[in-house]
Structure 1
Amino acid sequence: MPRVDMANLHLPVAPPLDPVWLAFEAQHGFNDPKPPISVLERQPQYAAEERAKTQRMIAPGARGHHLGQGIKTSIFTVPSSLDAFPIPILLFAHEDPSTDLEDVGACTTIIYIHGGGLKVGEADSEELSCRRIIKESGLPGVVLYSIGYRLMPTYPASTCVQDCHDATSHILSLPSATGGKVVLIGSSSGGELAPLIAPSFHPHITGLILRCPVTSDAYTSYPRYIPERFRPYHTSAAHPSFQNCLLRTLTREEPRDGLPQMPLEMSKEKLQKMPGRVWVQVCTNDGLYSDGVCMAKALEEDGGKEVMVDVVWGWPHTFWLKAWELDKALECERKMVKAVRWVAGE
């Protein structure tokens, strides 16, 4: 019995936003006019905001205080195969003063690729999610590697892909990934990069998690780059009801950001080289909703994978990154942690 029921997952228009979210966005002025800022100016600002949020959420008395306890971090670099650029990788593991994190042996390795439209974000930008996986997954000997790939517009999208490929190749060669389970996680645009690199590492990656993934170029080129069979179901990029303060449109200077293809266009052969279990989390009030749903169906139908879809009804794109204080954000994070166990076969 298929898990991805397109008849029930198809949304011609977005539902109303949840009142709790509407109150939160009004309280924080998400829809207030903002001064124009370039992407290059925004990059360090975004990184600083995310670091400040992490410290606020793990401070004493905060709900995430336990996420700051008993976890050791380490950063190292891997040379790019393109130009020897040092790609930063942030490692999270349970604290053990007697263990060198780079040499730690593990039964479960998580590789995390952050979001940000390929234009913002660093290896620590989704640190709270990374910490929660280490702290709450209960997986044996779990370690997590978050990749700090280079960003557009300084570098092309192809460099983002290659950096993630090179970093993943190195991670899979480490003792922490030898003989154990490996889970690849992609968030938003990280959910574009993860499927693009995953087939290269078949069969070494056990499971795949995609959270509000970018899988097509529906915004700038609809319907040209949407496989014909998915066009009746791919509604979210075209209908204005899916737009809101967290994601209005995805603008591209060139189709597919210059990449040869997007994940939704992958061949059956490549889809069959994806990990055996895939969990896709989508938000109904998100222009990328259809990207996630259609990708889930492609993985199930053409890839022959075991796929589960989690639909977050009435909430916008990756809202948990902006509203960590809300109970719904915690619920989504805990579903993700549970899914990590499922795709790892636990």
Structure 2
Amino acid sequence: MDKERQFVSQYPQLGDLDKVGIVERRRIFGEVEATIPQRQLPSDVNDSTVSVKEFTIRGRDGYDIPVRGYIPAASAPEAGRPLLIYLHAGGFLFGDLESGDLNCRVLATRLNISILNVGYRLAPEWLFPHGVNDSYDATEWAAANAGEALNCSPTAGFLVGGISAGANFAGVIAYTARDAGLSPPITGLWISIPVCIMPQAYDLVPQWKDQLLSLEQNAENPLLTRKSLTDIQDLYGSPPGDVRISFLLNENHKNLPVRAYFQICGRDPLRDEAFLWQKLLEKHSGTKYKIHLYSGLPHGFWRFLQLKASQEWLDDVVEGIGFLSAPQDADTSSEIGLKVKGL
């Protein structure tokens, strides 16, 4: 029995996800999570190490986007404190500001960066492109206002990132910001288990057929299956060939951020999309990269804290975003490359 089967055998409910609708799927996840240890705020992170404030940002259609800002108590570096736009996971359907709150507190404290956590609108109540528009509008606001509002200097480091659907939004934002000439420019991307191209759009890129094998290899894996992706596509309401979701379809991959940190799961249907985008970024934009590859583990495994890799996951995120937020003239050559993690 391989690692993935050992993992799934502990939670037989996860084998039924493709047999139920999205509401029941959410109930199953909640049932499983109620039986497992929950991640706790580390002892070095508390109300004295980071201040948190909630406010709203007015979106392009007049909607007030809820956001949460995190400002470290430590003095800002002489060169200025970098900023991270944090976009939570949830398959475009679930999640909120609370989803990433612990992560944001840890990252702000340990890396001395300011963070804007974005509560973008969710489908099916708010169909595509509301969620990605909210995320970009918050990023655009931050470029102009975060320096004063969050005591940071985007010119010292302007990072955008997230997990799963949030990583998809970060990818879309990278291209949108480039094309709009956003100033200051985005300098780093945190791309964790990303959706880069929807399955229904694979036929549009036959030249990459031999590089996109994980969708079939991992079609029946736990936590995210090929059918799950199709269901999400239908509920989100996006045309699969639209570059505002399938951003790999952009024809031009030049002038994108200079650093990228990827988290990729070996048993994820989305695995090969992430590897392909990393190659495109390196080839066309010269993007320096850091990858943590979680061998034998499925999409979003880190909620299961009994796994050694799950216990290390947040430290990995700190390490990766530390790579992104390092001064642009810093020597990061020793950090570049791929590191394989496991159970």
Q: TM-score range by the shorter chain?
A: 0.7 to 0.9
**TM-score of the superposed pair, with normalisation by structure 1:** 0.76
Once residues 106 and 304 of structure 1 are traced to their aligned partners in structure 2, the CA distance between those partners, rounded to angstroms, is: 25
Name 1:317's counterpart in structure 2.
299
Once residues 206 and 160 of structure 1 are traced to their aligned partners in structure 2, the CA distance between those partners, rounded to angstroms, is: 22
Alignment partner of 1:245 is 2:231: no
Name 1:6's counterpart in structure 2.
none
Kept in 1, the 8 Å contact 2:15–2:222? The answer is no
Kept in 2, the 8 Å contact 1:80–1:163? The answer is yes
Q: How does 1:49-88 map to 2 (within 5 A)?
A: 56-58=38-40, 64-69=42-47, 70-82=49-61, 84-88=62-66
In structure 1, runs of 5+ residues without a counterpart are: 1-14, 100-104
Q: CA deviation at 1:29?
A: 5.0
Kept in 2, the 8 Å contact 1:57–1:65? The answer is no
Q: CA deviation at 1:109?
A: 0.8
Name 1:289's counterpart in structure 2.
271
Once residues 299 and 216 of structure 2 are traced to their aligned partners in structure 1, the CA distance between those partners, rounded to angstroms, is: 16
Once residues 131 and 291 of structure 1 are traced to their aligned partners in structure 2, the CA distance between those partners, rounded to angstroms, is: 30
Q: Secondary structure at the match of 1:57?
A: coil
Amino acid corresponding to residue 168 of structure 2 in structure 1:
E
Once residues 40 and 166 of structure 2 are traced to their aligned partners in structure 1, the CA distance between those partners, rounded to angstroms, is: 24
Kept in 2, the 8 Å contact 1:203–1:275? The answer is no
Once residues 46 and 147 of structure 1 are traced to their aligned partners in structure 2, the CA distance between those partners, rounded to angstroms, is: 23
Amino acid corresponding to residue 189 of structure 1 in structure 2:
A
Once residues 57 and 255 of structure 1 are traced to their aligned partners in structure 2, the CA distance between those partners, rounded to angstroms, is: 29
In structure 2, runs of 5+ residues without a counterpart are: 328-343
Q: CA deviation at 1:245?
A: 2.0
Q: Which has the higher relative contact order, 1 or 2, with Cα contacts under 8 A spaced 6 or more apart?
A: 1
Amino acid corresponding to residue 53 of structure 2 in structure 1:
S
Once residues 67 and 314 of structure 1 are traced to their aligned partners in structure 2, the CA distance between those partners, rounded to angstroms, is: 31
Q: CA deviation at 1:179?
A: 3.6
The 3 A distance-change label for structure 1 pair 41 and 236 is: closer
Once residues 65 and 100 of structure 2 are traced to their aligned partners in structure 1, the CA distance between those partners, rounded to angstroms, is: 17
Q: Secondary structure at the match of 1:167?
A: helix
Amino acid corresponding to residue 244 of structure 1 in structure 2:
N
Amino acid corresponding to residue 31 of structure 1 in structure 2:
L
Q: 1:129 aligns with which of 99, 103, 114?
A: 103
Q: 2:169 aligns with which of 190, 193, 196?
A: 193
Amino acid corresponding to residue 316 of structure 2 in structure 1:
K
Kept in 2, the 8 Å contact 1:217–1:255? The answer is no
Kept in 2, the 8 Å contact 1:236–1:242? The answer is yes
**TM-score of the superposed pair, with normalisation by structure 2:** 0.77
Once residues 97 and 250 of structure 2 are traced to their aligned partners in structure 1, the CA distance between those partners, rounded to angstroms, is: 27
Amino acid corresponding to residue 253 of structure 1 in structure 2:
D
Alignment partner of 1:305 is 2:287: yes
Alignment partner of 1:17 is 2:12: no
The 3 A distance-change label for structure 1 pair 246 and 339 is: same
Aligned length: 305
Once residues 284 and 326 of structure 1 are traced to their aligned partners in structure 2, the CA distance between those partners, rounded to angstroms, is: 15
Alignment partner of 1:109 is 2:83: yes
The 3 A distance-change label for structure 1 pair 111 and 154 is: same
The 3 A distance-change label for structure 1 pair 189 and 153 is: same
The 3 A distance-change label for structure 1 pair 305 and 57 is: closer
Once residues 222 and 31 of structure 2 are traced to their aligned partners in structure 1, the CA distance between those partners, rounded to angstroms, is: 21
Name 2:316's counterpart in structure 1.
335
Once residues 47 and 114 of structure 1 are traced to their aligned partners in structure 2, the CA distance between those partners, rounded to angstroms, is: 17
Name 1:229's counterpart in structure 2.
207
Residue identity (%) = 22
Q: Secondary structure at the match of 1:73?
A: strand
Q: CA deviation at 1:178?
A: 4.6
Once residues 308 and 256 of structure 1 are traced to their aligned partners in structure 2, the CA distance between those partners, rounded to angstroms, is: 33
Q: CA deviation at 1:16?
A: 3.8
Q: Secondary structure at the match of 1:342?
A: helix
Amino acid corresponding to residue 183 of structure 1 in structure 2:
L
Kept in 2, the 8 Å contact 1:264–1:295? The answer is yes
Amino acid corresponding to residue 238 of structure 1 in structure 2:
E
Q: Aligned-residue CA RMSD in angstroms?
A: 3.4
Q: CA deviation at 1:327?
A: 2.6
1:213-250 CA-partner distances (Å, limit 9, x unpaired): 100012x34x323x3332101011123x4532211120
Kept in 1, the 8 Å contact 2:127–2:236? The answer is no
